Amino acid sequence: MTLELDGLTHRYGSGRALDDVSLALDDGELVALLGPSGCGKTTVVQAIAGHLDPTAGRVSLRGTDVTAAPPEDRNVGLVFQRPTLYPHMTVGENVAYGLESGDLTTDQVSNRVDRYLELVELADRRDVSPASLSGGETRRVELARALAPEPDVLLLDEPLSALDKGLRARLRDEIIRIQRETDVTTLFVTHDQEDAMSVADRLVVLREGEVVAAGPPRQLYNSPPTRFVASFLGRSNELSARVESGESSIVTIGGTDLPADALTDGLADAPRAAVHVRPSDLTVRSMTRSGEQSSEAESISDRSGASADGGASNERPGMIGMPGTVTHVRDVGRRYDVCVEVDSGESVTVERHRNGLRENERVTVTAAASDLTAFPVPERTAE
């Protein structure tokens, strides 16, 4: 393990910022630490870099316990959300800064500066002031500065958050490329699930100072282990469900019954469940204009119709259809977000690629049972 956190806990005054966080990064791995703002991500970074002294727990780098070591003895590269290039030095001097603290000769330092400025494709800006760089160039110089001393671990703390969208995507690709080329073990900290999923080999989801999920991005997205992960990774609708245990359990979602074995196992014990479904997995069709059935709905019903074993009270086996009313349609450019209040009173968002629905129109929202993820809700906390 290149980096290992073991039971890291930190309190600021009376507030708990981190609670028993453990994670490990393999050599050359790119792991994203993902969580909403205020979940303790930056505290993790600060603890790894040595800029704060955790209340409890251990930080190990390459098998050595460094919890008590000062930052300068850790060999950790750091890129912050806001630029930290030194305005009183040139770009080249900034990159050389971390090399001059070691025992390299002047020539070696100079060569290394050239090499890392070439890596970030800014070799021609070596002698300019950081103030004359663009936002993206600044980030790249910071990467070069952090990488030049060849750190054991590179920590990127929200490196893209201050950039606008196009630049962000470009720099994201750049970070992936640089990481592949240098093969440096990297912890990419972000609140943006899109950044995290597109960059990382592995995701670690942090919530209120606790690790709530870890695994490959696609796996966490497709089968989220908790409700929080389901709603935080990508867009998600949450519907409450009632489970009636009997000879064959029945789940009632939005007024539609479904055999419980069509959903996740283990629901039978809990009387209530929260069911998550992605807006892109829902289809919506008008009740009044039956001729206008979307092709997306057809394909879904074809797919799930074959495997369904029937039994639901709905017209199509393996599907649930929830009647409801359109509350509004939002045009977000590449798609329409249709908000529907289903008759059980809950609100769902459906992604649709063409318009044609009006507000207050009566519709049926359809989902395949296989696209639903159900989480049992313990009785105590049921709302």
- Residue 228 as a binder of other proteins (CB under 8 A): the answer is no
- Nearer of residues 110 and 129 to other proteins, judged by Cβ: 129
CB of 131 to other proteins, least distance (A): 7
- In this structure, what are the phi and psi dihedrals at residue 151, rounded to the nearest 5 degrees? -75, 160
Alpha carbon distance 114, 2 (integer Å): 27
- Nearer of residues 59 and 367 to other proteins, judged by Cβ: 59
- Nearer of residues 150 and 341 to other proteins, judged by Cβ: 150
CB of 267 to other proteins, least distance (A): 48
- Nearer of residues 55 and 252 to other proteins, judged by Cβ: 55
- Residue 51 as a binder of other proteins (CB under 8 A): the answer is yes
CB of 176 to other proteins, least distance (A): 22
The pattern of x and - marking residues 148 through 177 that bind other proteins according to CB under 8 A reads -x----------------------------
Range in contact with other proteins (rule: CB under 8 A) among 20-28, 45-53, 209-217, 252-260: 45-53
Among 35, 40, 98, 259, binds other proteins (CB under 8 A): 98
Residue type, 174: E
The pattern of x and - marking residues 70 through 89 that bind other proteins according to CB under 8 A reads xxx-x-xxx-x-x-x-xxxx
For every residue of 46-114, which 3-state class applies, written as one string?
HHHHCCCCCCEEEEEECCEECCCCCHHHCCEEEECCCCCCCCCCCHHHHHHHHHHCCCCCHHHHHHHHH
Residues in CB range of 309: below 8 A, 6 or more apart? 259, 262, 317, 318
For residues 194 and 233, the answer to whether their CB atoms sit within 8 Å is: no
Among 38, 102, 216, 378, binds other proteins (CB under 8 A): 102
- Nearer of residues 84 and 161 to other proteins, judged by Cβ: 84
Alpha carbon distance 134, 358 (integer Å): 45
- Nearer of residues 159 and 324 to other proteins, judged by Cβ: 159
Element (H, E) at 338: strand 336-342
- Nearer of residues 69 and 163 to other proteins, judged by Cβ: 69
- Residue 329 as a binder of other proteins (CB under 8 A): the answer is no
Residues in CB range of 19: below 8 A, 6 or more apart? 9, 208, 209, 210
Alpha carbon distance 52, 42 (integer Å): 11
Alpha carbon distance 207, 40 (integer Å): 8
- Nearer of residues 151 and 224 to other proteins, judged by Cβ: 151
- In this structure, what are the phi and psi dihedrals at residue 17, rounded to the nearest 5 degrees? -90, -35
CB of 89 to other proteins, least distance (A): 7
Q: For the segment 124-143, give every residue that binds other proteins (CB under 8 A).
A: 128-129, 131-132
Alpha carbon distance 213, 200 (integer Å): 14
Residues lying near other proteins in the complex (CB under 8 A) = 49-51, 70-72, 74, 76-78, 80, 82, 84, 86-90, 97-98, 101-102, 128-129, 131-132, 145-146, 149
